[in-house]
Amino acid sequence: MKPKLAKPELTVYDFFCELATLGGFLARKHDGEPGWQSIWTGYKKLHGRIEGMKLLMS
């Protein structure tokens, strides 16, 4: 069994890229930087998932 490698800490840039990915940003090499619309859409989706988990936990 191989030892698990420690995950590097998530930077602010990486966090916003992940949010944008939730919002539909494809994050391919030639796509450039994510825009505010994909970041906002990703934020709304993440917020909805968090609220759903809160409802499940209560």
3-56 pLDDT tens trace: 777 778 889 999 999 999 999 999 999 999 999 999 999 999 999 999 999 999
Q: Supply the pLDDT for residue 1.
A: 65
Higher pLDDT, residue 44 or 1: 44
Rounded distance between C-alpha atoms, residue 55 and residue 33, angstroms: 34
Rounded to two decimals, the pTM is 0.79
Q: How many helices (H) and strands (E) does the chain have?
A: 2, 0
Cβ-in-10-Å burial (0-12, 13-18, 19+) of 20 comes to: buried
Q: Supply the pLDDT for residue 6.
A: 73
Q: Say if CB 33 and CB 20 are below 8 A apart.
A: no
